[in-house]
Amino acid sequence: MLELHSFEPIFNQESRALILGSFPSLKSKEFGFYYGNSYNRFWSVLAAIFGSTLPTSKDKSLNPYEIIEMQKAFLLKHHIALWDCIKECRRKKHNSSDENLEIISVNNISKLLDQSKIKAVFCNGNTTMNVFRRYINLPISAIKLPSTSTANASYSKEQLIKEWSQIKSFI
């Protein structure tokens, strides 16, 4: 079954760094926003880098809409844009593994660059970096960061924070 990316990019004219993922996981689609799987370390890593607290889908004291709005505000406050590189795909199996994605088309990343001050692109994991290199032709290079997915068990949260901290030098 063909799946179309379901989230709009998060960015504004002041965005300076773009974080790219691959495609929303099944849990993210269910939650209604990027990195909605409660076990993905994306939001907790970013919060730690900026010395903030940030709710995730684990937080049951807020409804999903409130959590999503706080996450969006956090990104924009820190001049971070967020999107995924894959626009359309098919899942070969009904799970969220990137290895199961058959890429049909990619998102138009250049529109973010044209409408912002983005100077750096950060790819969340190997699949994103491979898709960026293979399908996305932009006059900007990408930096591969280790995936925040729990499938990347070789990286502790502390190691992720250390690697992902380089984002701060671009904003």
Q: Report whether 85 contacts 21 (CB < 8 A).
A: yes
Residues 6+ apart with CB under 8 A from 73: none
Is the pLDDT assigned to residue 66 strictly greater than 80? yes
- Out of 12-16, 108-112, 131-135, give the one with best mean pLDDT: 12-16
- DSSP conformational letter for 148: -
Backbone φ, ψ for residue 103 (5° rounding): -75, 130
Q: Give me the pLDDT at residue 113, please.
A: 93
Q: Which residue has the higher pLDDT, 97 or 71?
A: 71
Helix (H, G, I), strand (E, B) or coil at 81: strand
Closest C-alpha among 128, 34, 16 to residue 81: 16
Q: Which H helix or E strand runs over 42?
A: helix 42-49
Q: Give me the pLDDT at residue 1, please.
A: 72
Q: Give me the pLDDT at residue 10, please.
A: 98
What percent of the chain is modeled with pLDDT above 90? 65
Residues, the chain? 171
CA gap 24, 96 in Å, rounded = 8
Domain count, the chain: 1
Is the pLDDT assigned to residue 5 strictly greater than 60? yes
Residues 6+ apart with CB under 8 A from 48: 157, 161
User: pLDDT by residue (tens digit) across 129-168?
Assistant: 998 998 888 888 899 999 998 888 889 999 999 999 999 9
**Beta-bridge partners for 103:** 89
> Rounded mean pLDDT of 52-72?
94
Q: Give me the pLDDT at residue 61, please.
A: 92
Residues 6+ apart with CB under 8 A from 1: 90, 91
What CATH number did the domain enclosing 56 receive?
3.40.470.10
> Rounded mean pLDDT of 80-87?
95
> Rounded mean pLDDT of 6-29?
92
CA dist 68 → 39, 71, 104, 107, 144 (Å): 16, 5, 28, 22, 25
Instruction: Write out the residue range of the structural domain in which residue 16 sits.
Output: 2-170
Distance of CA 83 to the CA centre of its chain: 6
**Beta-bridge partners for 145:** 124
User: pLDDT by residue (tens digit) across 21-58?
Assistant: 988 888 888 899 999 988 999 999 999 999 999 999 99
